[in-house]
Amino acid sequence: MLGVNPTKKLGQNFVIDANTVRRIVKTAGVQAGETVVEVGPGLGSLTLGLTEAGATVVAVEIDGRLAEQLPLTVELMQPGAPLTVVTADALRIAQLPGDPSRLVANLPYNVSVPVLLHLLEHFASIRAGLIMVQAEVGERLAAPPGSKVYGSPSVKSAWYGDFRVAGKVSRQVFWPVPNVDSILIGFERRGEQLESEELRLATFALVDAAFQQRRKMLRQALSEVLGDSATATVLMSEAGIDPTLRGEQLTVHDFLAVARVWQRR
């Protein structure tokens, strides 16, 4: 198949089932005329589904062989379909043509969360999307506070908007067949940015500290970031947050409240 051997290093598992592609495009709510960014297009099955729906596709592909072949495949199957291929690491891109309004992708499983957060951080034009990821990763992204899988990805994704599980995907629709289950995660970006970039960085630092030691009370888990446990207790109390709680009990707004107090000091 194009002489391509999928590699674990690049997290390559290609969707090869047409019904799954149609389901993804429909569930994503892709509209004719809008610009969609796709990361890791692989052999182009989802790309073709997106262009068939009338979208202009900006495809980001790190594998030079696949990036070179994709326009040829699309032109063969759908002559004249609007496609731009960006040959790059999605974790390093800072500009994309066309200001894409939607992200629809089978994200490489080994970097799915970093890629998602990078795109949401750097491309405010992305207002909604649907991603296919490893099941346990997707469940974390969509987890509410208090659940067993709620963690750092849950809080950081919530900074940008609302995430939900949008369906399961059979292992058999991929080549090669992965040894993990996959799910679809849909999201809608919130209407307004929560806060400044400075406060986002402060909030994310608190989130990372809280979940690196998730079994500890927050006054202990946040002590290295905030100075010591006494300072952490004071700052959290000022923010209206019980310092004896644990990270999984806090919403993104709770972490932001602590960050605000911390930054005022």
Tell me the three-class secondary structure of the chain, residue by residue.
CCCCCCCCCCCCCEECCHHHHHHHHHHHCCCCCCEEEEECCCCCHHHHHHHHCCCEEEEEECCHHHHHHHHHHHHHHCCCCCEEEEECCCCCCCCCCCCCCEEEEECCHHHHHHHHHHHHHHCCCCCEEEEEEEHHHHHHHCCCCCCCCCCHHHHHHHHHEEEEEEEEECHHHEECCCCCCEEEEEEEECCCCCCCHHHHHHHHHHHHHHHHCCCCCHHHHCHHHHCCHHHHHHHHHHCCCCCCCCHHHCCHHHHHHHHHHHHHC
Q: Which fold has domain 14-189?
A: Rossmann fold (3.40.50)
Nearest to 113 by CA among 93, 138, 78, 92: 138
Q: Where are the domains of the chain?
A: 14-189, 197-264
**Contact at 8 Å (CB) between 93 and 151?**
no
Chain mean pLDDT for the chain = 92
For domain 197-264, the question of CATH label 1.10.8.100 is answered with yes
pLDDT tens digits, one per residue of 35-55: 999 999 988 999 999 999 999
* pTM attached to this predicted model: 0.91
Residues of the chain with pLDDT under 70: 1-13, 16, 172, 174-179
User: In the prediction, which pLDDT does 94 show?
Assistant: 95
User: In the prediction, which pLDDT does 216 show?
Assistant: 94
User: In the prediction, which pLDDT does 178 show?
Assistant: 67
User: In the prediction, which pLDDT does 177 show?
Assistant: 63
Burial class (CB in 10 A: 0-12, 13-18, 19+), 143: buried
